[in-house]
Amino acid sequence: MNNMNHELKLYRERARAWLAEHAPRYSGQARHGLPFEDDLALARAWQAHKVQHGYGCITLPREFGGAGGSELEKVIFCEEEMRYDLPLVYFSISLNNPLPIFLRYAPDAWKQKLGPATVRGELIWCQLFSEPSAGSDLASLRLKAVPTEGGWLLSGQKVWTSWAQIADWGVVVARTDPSLPKHAGLTYFFLDMKSPGITVQPIHRLGEEKDLNEVFFDEVFVPDEQRLGEINGGFKVAVETLMIERYAVTDESGYGPTLENFVDLAGNARLNGRPALEDGEVRARIAEVFVERQGLRAIHRRALEAFARGQAPGPEGAIRKLLLGRTRQSLGAMAMDMLGANGAQLAPHGHAVTDFARAWLDPSLRIAGGTDELLLNTLAERVLGLPQDHRPDKGIPFNAAPK
């Protein structure tokens, strides 16, 4: 273990030095004022540059352009990379969820055709899971797939689909047999997002982010060779997809403005003519967040130790996501209160990770990948051992369940 720790320390030092040399050309001032398309082009260039130097898709096999490294190396590089304002967001879904599950289940010819180009950032994928009636309860989805000669016809709607407007390919779960219970009648596919019958409409957000979309399917043909897993076995593949990256691999940096940023702000802001940092309520909140952060770091260290033993982190990862999302918004609200009317201003080049006002405006961390309520259920059932909620549709055919 000591030898492993030494090797990982050296890996971190090499990654930190490499980033210090290369990242500034792709981050911060290099991005300020760029139109959307130019920022996306910069993101593609950064991804290709990382792949060339062995830092892109660290855990994926070398035959597809990955680095063939360990999960711990990926965690370490991500922690160091998040210290820069890099255009990573366009690939946050593509490389972390659809690509690994595609490489796990797709036919070899398709892996060779799409895998390397996706790793290099030339192709972008989206994940078509959520629907208007199926958010946290994914098994309730209604997008139907009807068998036809050579494949399936998909009809229905998906929503909250990140980066569908720039995606070349996507993974999608559809209902292939409504006569089975809701978890049992689903099938998982991958499809060309330029297929006839697909319509993508943007969802406008308060913070001006351009990531979310609605996607409509009007008898979209998908060949059966683009099925991942068994017919009516799609829920299992969907759960595997979510578990690949359900645990956040970074520490609390990268989720919102840091506690140190808040302390600096409180030192400069004024309340009743005195520095806000002298206010008892502000000081108490700083102490609360500091104690919370130490606890989250302990959970993070346990997860890293699990990775080192070749194990997956446990359900306690839900605690981190729950508290990180809540704290980001609550600190944002207090920061805005300290600044008074000026707190409502949005930093020109800011986003939810760097600007307190945008962090308060953006609740996505408390919704995507599991809402607060779903996380509380996970903690109740899997950590505390409490009984499950009553599920009236359990074991009932989907088309006979109460709507």
d(CA 321, CA 326): 9
Task: Return the bridge partners of 214, or none.
Answer: 201
Dig out the tokens for 257 from the structure.
């403005």
Residue 375 in this model has a pLDDT that exceeds 90: no
Q: Is residue 391 part of a domain?
A: no
Give pLDDT tens digits for 97-141: 999 999 999 999 999 999 999 999 999 999 999 999 887 788 899
> Chain-centre distance of CA 143, in angstroms?
23
Give pLDDT tens digits for 74-100: 989 998 998 899 999 999 999 999 999
pLDDT confidence of residue 249: 46
pLDDT confidence of residue 89: 92
Do 134 and 224 fall within a single domain? yes
Residue 308 in this model has a pLDDT that exceeds 90: no
- Report how far apart, in Å, the C-alpha atoms of 34 and of each of 135, 157, 253, 302 are: 33, 32, 24, 40
Q: Is residue 102 part of a domain?
A: no
Q: Is residue 243 part of a domain?
A: no
Do 201 and 280 fall within a single domain? no
Nearest to 296 by CA among 263, 288, 242: 288
Do 133 and 207 fall within a single domain? yes
Q: Is residue 120 part of a domain?
A: no
**Do 325 and 375 touch, CB atoms closer than 8 A?**
no
Q: Is residue 25 part of a domain?
A: yes
Do 316 and 286 fall within a single domain? yes
pLDDT confidence of residue 188: 98
Task: Return the bridge partners of 119, or none.
Answer: none
Average model confidence (pLDDT) for the chain? 90
Do 132 and 68 fall within a single domain? no
Which phi and psi (to 5°) does residue 163 adopt? 60, 25
Q: Is residue 104 part of a domain?
A: no
As a whole number, mean pLDDT of residues 336-352 equals: 85
Q: What's the DSSP call for residue 228?
A: -
Question: How open is the CA angle 378-182-195, to the nearest 5 degrees?
Answer: 105
pLDDT band at residue 1 under the 50/70/90 scheme: low
**Do 12 and 80 touch, CB atoms closer than 8 A?**
yes
* Range 69-78, long-range pairs (CB < 8 A, 24+ positions): 70/307, 71/249, 71/307, 72/8, 72/304, 72/307, 72/308, 73/8, 73/11, 74/249, 75/249, 75/250, 75/304, 75/307, 76/8, 76/11, 76/12, 76/15, 77/15, 78/249, 78/250
CATH number at residue 335: 1.20.140.10
To the nearest whole percent, how much of the chain has pLDDT over 90?
Answer: 63
Top-confidence range, 76-80, 226-230, 371-375: 226-230
CATH number at residue 175: 2.40.110.10
Of 178, 205, 237, the last residue of a domain is: 237
Do 272 and 230 fall within a single domain? no
Do 132 and 219 fall within a single domain? yes
Do 266 and 378 fall within a single domain? yes
Do 130 and 86 fall within a single domain? no
pLDDT confidence of residue 254: 63
User: How many structural domains compose the chain?
Assistant: 3
Residue 248 in this model has a pLDDT that exceeds 90: no
Do 269 and 339 fall within a single domain? yes
d(CA 16, CA 23): 10
Question: Between 204 and 254, where is the model more confident?
Answer: 204
Of 38-47, 287-296, 368-377, give the lowest mean pLDDT range.
Answer: 368-377
pLDDT confidence of residue 276: 93
- Report how far apart, in Å, the C-alpha atoms of 63 and of each of 22, 51, 96, 120, 245 are: 25, 12, 17, 12, 22
pLDDT band at residue 253 under the 50/70/90 scheme: low
pLDDT confidence of residue 24: 97
Do 220 and 284 fall within a single domain? no
Q: Is residue 311 part of a domain?
A: yes
pLDDT confidence of residue 300: 80
d(CA 331, CA 290): 12
Q: What's the DSSP call for residue 215?
A: E
Of 47, 72, 91, the last residue of a domain is: 91
Do 225 and 340 fall within a single domain? no
d(CA 322, CA 324): 6
d(CA 131, CA 138): 8
Top-confidence range, 119-123, 289-293, 306-310: 119-123
Q: Is residue 114 part of a domain?
A: no
As a whole number, mean pLDDT of residues 189-217 equals: 93
To the nearest whole percent, how much of the chain has pLDDT over 70?
Answer: 95
The range of the structural domain enclosing residue 191 comes to 125-237
Of 91, 113, 144, the last residue of a domain is: 91
d(CA 79, CA 151): 42
Predicted TM-score (pTM) of the model is 0.86
DSSP secondary structure, 123-145, as one string: S-EEEE--BTTBSS-GGG---EE
